[in-house]
């Protein structure tokens, strides 16, 4: 059984908070930002990715999922006219990450390709206050006894403990901002289920934050004076997972003391259905072609995470 996020929480010494943090919610709810004005454009972009981008009767997920992502990022970038500091971002594909840590008596590693990464010239400020961070000391991490928390992890021989952000020293866009995971396989069994995807998002957000913290503060385990915030968004082209992770400590061996924090907003549909060809019964159109059930809030969450750290 793959416990998913619960297992990832134990591995990364992390307390889960349901929903998005107030800092992000505040961006969504701020009328001055004019996010509502972009709703029609977002709806148009969904139609473009799902209905018009191809001559096929119905585009395949491996085509429309990346297309939708590119379209949404395009809308985000349009905001840089209003907020010039948004231009101090860089989007990198096929980023490699390596982070190593010890948990109880187990040496753990996250390494490999970590999706599409938006980097920034400046870090995102901590989203949890000092009091909230200290309060995590009281949080008791769930254990899986008698099952080992590492039950389905791949065992490898580690000859060198590697911590690598994937970027060379002096790279101007050195702060990880948001990781994007596109689950775009056409065959459902080839895609991560939402719970697995959220676990993967948490492990890689943690890995990126840990590698950055070690690059900044060295390898000695400690509670960070300046926590590292890292975000992640995962989607299959319709259903979205949103995550904000805050690395408060690199002291991960024991279950005691300060924990890390993650906010997760799960299973948010951007739209309910994309009807590529109208459905006709007895000469009457029962389902017209087009996008139905567009959810503007899901789009606003995507945009708010992109704007977070800037506005």
For residue range 106-128, list pLDDT tens digits in order.
888 787 766 799 999 999 999 99
- Classified as helix, coil or strand, 293 is coil
Average pLDDT over residues 83-97: 87
Dist CA 185 CA 199 (whole Å): 18
Q: For 83-87, 112-116, 267-271, which range has the lowest pLDDT when averaged over its residues?
A: 112-116
Of the pLDDT bands very low, low, confident and very high (cuts 50, 70, 90), residue 2 is very low
Q: How many domains does the chain have?
A: 1
**Each residue's pLDDT tens digit, 44-81:** 999 999 887 666 767 889 999 999 999 999 999 999 98
In the prediction, which pLDDT does 42 show?
94
Q: Tell me the Ramachandran region of residue 12: left when phi exceeds 0, alpha when psi lies from -120 to 50, beta otherwise.
A: alpha
Write down the pTM of the prediction. Answer: 0.90
Of the pLDDT bands very low, low, confident and very high (cuts 50, 70, 90), residue 191 is confident
- Classified as helix, coil or strand, 178 is strand
Domain range for 199 is 3-307
In the prediction, which pLDDT does 147 show?
60
In the prediction, which pLDDT does 1 show?
36
Residue entry with tokens 């017209």: 288
**Phi and psi dihedrals of 267, rounded to 5?**
50, 60
Q: For 68-82, 143-157, 167-181, which range has the lowest pLDDT when averaged over its residues?
A: 143-157
- Which span out of 99-108, 119-128, 279-288 was modeled with the highest average pLDDT? 119-128
Nearest C-alpha neighbor of 307 from the set 12, 33, 43:
33
Of the pLDDT bands very low, low, confident and very high (cuts 50, 70, 90), residue 284 is confident
């Amino acid at each position: 059984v793959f416990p998913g996020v619960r297992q990832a929480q134990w591995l990364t010494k992390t307390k889960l908070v349901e929903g998005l943090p107030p800092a992000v919610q505040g961006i969504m709810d701020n009328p001055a930002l004019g996010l509502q004005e972009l709703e029609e454009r977002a709806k148009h972009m969904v139609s473009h990715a799902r209905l018009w981008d191809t001559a096929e009767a119905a585009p395949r997920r491996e085509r429309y999922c990346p297309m939708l992502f590119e379209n949404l990022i395009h809308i985000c970038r349009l905001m840089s006219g209003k907020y010039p500091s948004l231009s101090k971002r860089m989007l990198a594909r096929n980023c490699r990450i390596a982070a190593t840590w010890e948990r109880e008596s187990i040496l753990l590693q996250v390494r490999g390709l970590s999706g599409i990464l938006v980097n920034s010239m400046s870090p995102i400020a901590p989203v949890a206050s000092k009091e909230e961070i200290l309060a995590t000391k009281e949080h008791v991490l769930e254990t899986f006894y008698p099952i080992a928390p590492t039950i389905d992890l791949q065992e490898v021989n580690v000859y060198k403990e590697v911590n690598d952000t994937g970027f060379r020293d002096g790279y101007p866009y050195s702060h990880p901002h948001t990781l994007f995971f596109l689950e775009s396989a056409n065959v459902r069994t080839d895609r991560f289920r939402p719970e697995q995807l959220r676990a993967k998002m948490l492990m890689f957000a943690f890995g990126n934050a840990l590698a950055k913290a070690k690059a900044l503060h060295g390898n000695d385990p400690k509670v960070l004076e300046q926590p590292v915030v890292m975000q992640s968004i995962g989607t299959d082209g319709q259903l979205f997972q949103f995550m904000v992770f805050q690395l408060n400590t690199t002291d991960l061996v024991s279950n005691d003391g300060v924990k890390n924090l993650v906010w997760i907003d799960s299973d948010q549909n951007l739209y309910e259905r994309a009807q590529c060809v109208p459905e006709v019964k007895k000469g009457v159109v029962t389902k017209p072609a087009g996008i139905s059930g567009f959810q503007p809030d899901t789009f606003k969450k995507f945009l708010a995470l992109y704007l977070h750290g800037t506005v």
